[in-house]
Amino acid sequence: MGINYELYKVFYWAAKTGSLTQAAKVLYLTQPSVSHSIKQLEDRFGITLFYRNAKGVELTQEGAVLYSYIEQSQMLLSLAEQKMTAMKNLDSGELRIGGSDSLFKHYLLPYLERFHRDYPGIKLHLKHGTTPEIIAFLKEGTIDMGVVRMPIVDAQLEVKESIQLQDCFVAGTRYAELKGSVLSLEMLLRHPIILFSRNSRARMGITELFQSYGYTIKPEIEVGSVDLLIEFARNGLGISYVTREFVSKELEEGSLFEIQLDVQLPPSRVGIMTMRSVPLSISAKTFMELMS
């Protein structure tokens, strides 16, 4: 038998006010309607829930037991309504984003700072990973959106194009003799190459590019973060493959310089992924609008 929540609401207010008349006023019902609802509930259980007294009505022993449960449910419903209102007004909730360390640091950070300033009640949860890992997080439902390198081809995902990035090879002062020269891929490979060790979109892209020219790029050093790519190149351990926009400071100050090649390295775009069939939370939708 299905639960008729309206009957329990009538019962709750009759018990809380101790008056059928007062319960009717709170619920904008007539007193006969209140009496009928309580009679339905009593018939359902086959027990008497109220008895009349000089002031109105009072709970029977069985009615008091029922009220102890209904009171808790009403409190939870009230808290739920308050929570929904808070989330709608962005006073509460959470924002869950997946991305790489470098995209968080060099692309998302200004937006995250502004969002946190405007909506301090929203908790930020950031999950780091490679593109395949971020896609998995999204499909598992552990993040609301993922920020990754494109291209992304997946029918389950909605991908919105964002900024364009340009990858390049950079070196420090130890390789100053290469500054101003134009190198072929073969000449470049004569020097120690430093690449990101994980299965990132950038790593896959440069591997495919070299293969298209008949070369295999084998890094002498593999590292687990973009910051190490930058530091190792700056300290002369080799030539690193990085995103130009992420080393603009180092290029400007001269601690790194870009290696010029006789082939064009293709640009890439950042994509913001969401699940096609899952509606965005209010906080995630607001953050997307902030980035537009």
Predicted TM-score (pTM) of this structure? 0.72
Q: What string of H, E and C letters represents the secondary structure of 200-252?
A: CHHHHHHHHHHHHCCCCCCCCEEECCHHHHHHHHHCCCCEEEEEHHHHHHHHH
- Tens digit of each residue's pLDDT (9 = 90 or more) over 198-214: 677 788 889 999 999 99
User: What are the b/e assignments for 202-241, b being 16+ CB within 10 Å?
Assistant: bbebbbebbeeeeeebebebebebbebbbbbbbeebbbbb
Confidence (pLDDT) at 136:
93
Q: Give me the numbers of helices (H) and strands (E) for the chain, helices first please.
A: 12, 14
Q: How confident is the model at residue 197 (pLDDT cuts 50, 70, 90)?
A: confident
Q: How confident is the model at residue 225 (pLDDT cuts 50, 70, 90)?
A: confident
Asked whether 243 and 201 are in contact (CB, 8 A), the reply is: no
Number of C-beta neighbours around residue 71 at 10 A: 13
Q: How confident is the model at residue 1 (pLDDT cuts 50, 70, 90)?
A: low
Of the candidates 231, 265, 268, 267, the residue with the CA atom closest to the CA atom of residue 131 = 268
Domain 5-88, CATH number (from 3.40.50.10190, 1.10.10.10, 3.30.565.10, 2.120.10.60) = 1.10.10.10
Domain boundaries, the chain: 5-88, 94-158+272-291, 167-266
- Tens digit of each residue's pLDDT (9 = 90 or more) over 2-32: 688 899 999 999 999 999 999 999 999 999 9
- Residue found under tokens 């998995």: 136
Of the candidates 284, 289, 269, 274, the residue with the CA atom closest to the CA atom of residue 107 = 269
Confidence (pLDDT) at 37:
95
Domains 5-88 and 167-266 share a fold: no
Query: What is the percentage of the chain residues whose pLDDT exceeds 70?
Result: 99
User: 94-158+272-291 adopts what CATH topology?
Assistant: D-Maltodextrin-Binding Protein; domain 2 (3.40.190)
Instruction: Summarize the confidence of residues 88-95 as an average pLDDT.
Output: 90
User: Crossing angle of helices 5-17/61-88, nearest 10°?
Assistant: 110
Is the sign of the CA dihedral 175, 237, 132, 213 positive or negative? positive
- Tens digit of each residue's pLDDT (9 = 90 or more) over 268-292: 999 999 999 899 999 999 999 999 8
- Report whether pLDDT(109) > 80: yes
Instruction: Summarize the confidence of residues 244-273 as an average pLDDT.
Output: 94
Asked whether 188 and 261 are in contact (CB, 8 A), the reply is: yes
> Hey, is 141 helix, strand or coil?
coil
Superfamily (CATH H level) for 167-266: Periplasmic binding protein-like II (3.40.190.10)
- Report whether pLDDT(118) > 90: yes
